[in-house]
Structure 1
């Protein structure tokens, strides 16, 4: 299977199964469009109005060489592998600790409902529950050495003292069990101060700072409960935070909605503020929400991604580089095959922990009792649910099987699939279309870099 597309002046051909990327001329591009359904004679006849016979024969020879080198039309040899992989023993390697089911902002699109999570009461995680969560992670991590813990909310800094105590406990356990904790923090920034920055820079491998971009965009969707905007409070703090981390190991992360389909302006606004690690993602919302992304919005958003990619290419040439999370792609190796086929590991390798110690497949399932898996005190009790998540991969989803993006998006988000289709083995359609466009832009940028070397 191959995928062809044009982007910012490049004719690009992706061989899906090998991952090989080819930047080709018009002749090869046009030949490939009809290659599989036509004989050599038919191809020459159909394209003779546009190219002479010698050009076409040369293009056909070039294509055949790539096929012989297993760089075009390669076979999919991964399906048997992933089903064997799904039978593996379960090892937990990451937890999302809901350290605070409470928040001091009132973001309009928040899936966590300001920390209430589908009716769960607002509360803070105790040190004892957090300690039991770390013990659970260590006990269920098998021989895996590197473990990840994200302090999440609500707003985690509303429970900062417990965060500090749990990090200290984790560091003690590292030495006893031969483990290495990679702690991360996701924050809305309102409570960030010098103590928080100093601690995070010492202990947090990554920090995610939530901001949606331009002041009017951010303040419309991320206000305080009484309506005041958060932009003016968080921007100086985030700029200092990013600088203190040497512009590494952090992301400013935003969400764009139907109200700012020109989201590239928000990405560039953040870059112009001096941030070098940026993620601005589409909101996931039900159609009845006035800010939801719709199918009708897609053409505008495709153009916007193209515009952003072109501007990033221009800035790269001027030495004004910044990273945009959704355009970051590794064409040389990337994640291991299993990860590329099965995704984030929700419900198996990755779990979310509520303030009372309940275990869910990920933060987006928290509060849905059908997805309660157990507790940090009793372990995984719903083994059938765990097995279902283990079997979730690009081959269990009919929409993914013939999709060129499957080895890059890994089948998409299980929670989004469930929320829109009632099954984790489906795919969120609007999200899929946007993901495919982002992958094309990312490949184009890598092609441009290679050409400019």
Structure 2
């Protein structure tokens, strides 16, 4: 053979309890490897280029040459080793022609009865000044969903705000229309809503239950932490009312699991304590965490040290997740669930999410936004529900964002899990949604490495956990 060359950007090794795992970066697949595999990789890692003589020198007299040749061929097949030709492209360049929408997000009211200090919504209003979406706008949004993806069996309509329940009349009108419209076509429609819980009543909960809403409640933990930022317009803490209403919701709601969403900000980093309160005292099925590093109000953004603390706390909770999962128990840690799901499915992502492609958000005026985080922002929109999607403009954005040339992503080991990170996080941090979320890179690599280790332990010690807890979660749209 001539010279062979190592492609380190395509292979990442992780050791778990003495077992050696190889993370194949292009496909996000995980393999268990033995000592010979490790030795072969070590040879190629140690040298700039490897010849047949180098292989003989390293393995002669202790390993069957045919066995070494077989291992090298397997690494050639995986593009971990190359014969000098350019590495194979992981996927062809993205060219967007169609927009297979599955989800439409309706920003039904810009008004909110809370005034959370860290809120990223640039169009947020007080309740009296809230700008409400008209039914005709919502109706045209649903028709756009059907027009762009007429052959799907199921769709999702998401209600967002402000506080969406402050425009419950519209939500009820939309649900009645959508159930009739999709039902007549023999299609299923699911409804999703994120709420601060303050406006919930038994009557509202029962109505949401009857229509099988997927519900998420925004709550930031025990009273002292929740009341730090989640206040009324008048400046009072909301923990007591949110906790009371949420307990009522969880007692009455039977159609789907209800999740809690936590926003982590400056001074709020106690991930384990918050999870314990929300899961074991309040009773949420799952709890997920969203760190704030790029909000418009800088004093509420996590500092670098705080962000490190958050990820350390997430790993602490992740170890508890692992220990319980090995016993077949699910502690409802959403962030860990999502990572386990991505690794289990071997999901190799070209884009960070479905924003702009499978999902669009409609602002109260009918403008089409990449996602709900952008409604009311200075970010350009991509059409209207009346005029349709500006397809060339939106396609160009997605294609350009997916192009990782000169962005530093092409050699990153988590490039096909992260896919550059959240568009809005980049927009908020860099004022440019085209940039990857560079401020997260090292922490995300460490988090994914941690997840690979946990995944390896669960696959070996509790494989049924994935069929019992990870896959059923998808049925609920989590």
The verdict on a shared fold, with TM-score over 0.5 as the criterion, is yes
Aligned to 1:315: 324
Aligned to 1:389: 398
Q: Does 1:191 align with 2:196?
A: no
Q: Choose 301-310 or 237-246, whichever is displaced more.
A: 237-246
| Structure 1 unaligned spans of 5+ | 47-52
- Aligned equivalent of 1:350, options 341, 350, 359: 359
Q: Does 1:428 align with 2:437?
A: yes
Please tell me whether the aligned partners of residues 18 and 71 of structure 1 are also in contact (alpha carbons under 8 angstroms).
no
CA distance in 2, matches of 1:89, 1:218: 43
Compare relative contact order (CA 8 Å, sep 6+) and give the higher one, 1 or 2.
2
CA distance in 2, matches of 1:164, 1:288: 35
Could you tell me how far 1:77 is from its partner in structure 2?
A: 4.0
1:131–1:247 distance in 2 versus 1, CA, 3 Å = closer
What secondary structure, in the 3-state scheme, does the structure 2 residue paired with 1:79 have? coil
Please tell me whether the aligned partners of residues 209 and 255 of structure 2 are also in contact (alpha carbons under 8 angstroms).
no
| Deviation readout 1:242-279 (Å, 9 max, x if unpaired) | 45455954321111123123323212332222323111
1:426–1:10 distance in 2 versus 1, CA, 3 Å = farther
Q: Does 1:256 align with 2:267?
A: no
Counterparts of 1:71-110 in structure 2, within 5 Å, are: 77-80=89-92, 82-83=93-94, 86-110=95-119
Q: Does 1:171 align with 2:183?
A: no
Aligned to 1:362: 371
| Deviation readout 1:277-299 (Å, 9 max, x if unpaired) | 11112114259712212334444
What is the Cα-based RMSD across aligned positions, in Å? 3.6
Aligned to 2:466: none
TM-score (norm 1): 0.83
Q: Does 1:452 align with 2:461?
A: yes
| Deviation readout 1:122-171 (Å, 9 max, x if unpaired) | 21222222122212222222423322211001101001121011011001
What secondary structure, in the 3-state scheme, does the structure 1 residue paired with 2:189 have? strand
Could you tell me how far 1:114 is from its partner in structure 2?
A: 7.5
CA distance in 1, matches of 2:248, 2:441: 35
Aligned residues between the structures:
439
CA distance in 1, matches of 2:441, 2:376: 25
TM-score (norm 2): 0.79
What secondary structure, in the 3-state scheme, does the structure 2 residue paired with 1:301 have? helix
Aligned to 2:345: 333
What secondary structure, in the 3-state scheme, does the structure 1 residue paired with 2:289 have? strand
Aligned to 2:474: none
Please tell me whether the aligned partners of residues 305 and 441 of structure 1 are also in contact (alpha carbons under 8 angstroms).
no
- Aligned equivalent of 2:249, options 237, 241, 245: 241
Counterparts of 1:153-164 in structure 2, within 5 Å, are: 153-164=161-172
CA distance in 2, matches of 1:392, 1:323: 32
- Aligned equivalent of 2:384, options 364, 375, 385: 375
CA distance in 1, matches of 2:361, 2:109: 12
